[in-house]
Amino acid sequence: MLLRTPPEVLLLLVPVLLFALCFHEFAHAWMANKLGDPTAKHSGRLTLNPLAHL
């Protein structure tokens, strides 16, 4: 089904999914940090930069 998706839809879908993934993982890192686990902060994942989460 994804292969039949028009290219303009894919061009919109990929950045939206990338943003959603980064925000989701940032939320995990932020909450873990707030609950006392500094692992994500020490790993540099407490950011919305997509490269830190991939």
Helices (H) then strands (E): counts for the chain: 3, 0
Is 25 an active-site residue?
Answer: yes
The single residue of 5, 8, 15, 25 carrying the catalytic annotation is 25
**Which burial class, exposed, middle or buried, applies to 40 when counting CB atoms under 10 A from its CB (0-12, 13-18, 19+)?**
buried
Catalytically active residues are 25
